[in-house]
Amino acid sequence: MRLRVALTATASLALIAPAVSAVAATPTVAEGKHPQALVFGACPDDIATPYPALTCATLKVPLEYSRPYGATLSVLVTKHAANDPAKRLGSLLVNPGGPGGGGSTLAGSLTRPDPTGFTRLDKGVLDAYDVIGFDPRGVWHSSPVSCAAPDHFTPPQPDPDAKASRSELWKLWSSYAKGCNDQNKAVLPHLGTVDVARDMDSIRAALGEQKLNYVGFSYGTYLGAVYGQLFPQRVGRMIIDGNIDPTPKDMWYQAGLTQGPALQKRLEEYYLPWVAKYDNVFHLGKDVATVRAAWNKTLTDFRTTPHGVVGGSELLGTAYGVLFSESAWIPFTQALSAYAVGGDDAALVGFATPDTSADAEQFNAIFNSVICVDSKWSRDRKTYERDAARLAKTSQFSWYNIWTSGSACQSWAFDSPGRVKITGKGLPGVLMFNTIGDPATPYAGALKMHASLPSSVLVTEKDSGKHTVFSNTRALVNPAANAIGTKYLLTGELPAADTSVAGHPLPVPTPAAVAAKVSKPDLRTPFE
Q: Which residues are designated catalytic? A: 218, 438, 467
DSSP string, 456-504: EEEEEETT---S--TT--GGG--HHHHHHHHHHHHH-PPPSS-EEEPPP
Residue 456 forms beta bridges with which residues?
430
Buried b (16+ CB within 10 A) or exposed e, 210-222: ebbbbbbbbbbbb
Beta strands in 230-364 (DSSP E): 235-241
At 407, the amino acid letter reads: S
Q: Are 147 and 365 in contact (CB under 8 A)?
A: yes
Chain-centroid distance of CA 211 in Å reads: 25
Residue in 485, 478, 481, 425 with CA at minimum distance from that of residue 455? 425
DSSP string, 28-65: -GGGSSSPPPP--BPPPHHHHTT-TT-EEEEEEEESST
Residue in 433, 146, 408, 421 with CA at minimum distance from that of residue 253? 408
Three-class SS state of 113: coil
Strand ranges across the sheet with 129-134: 55-62, 72-80, 129-134, 90-95, 212-217, 235-241, 430-435, 456-461, 499-501
Chain-centroid distance of CA 253 in Å reads: 15
Handedness of CA 129, 135, 136, 141 (dihedral sign): negative
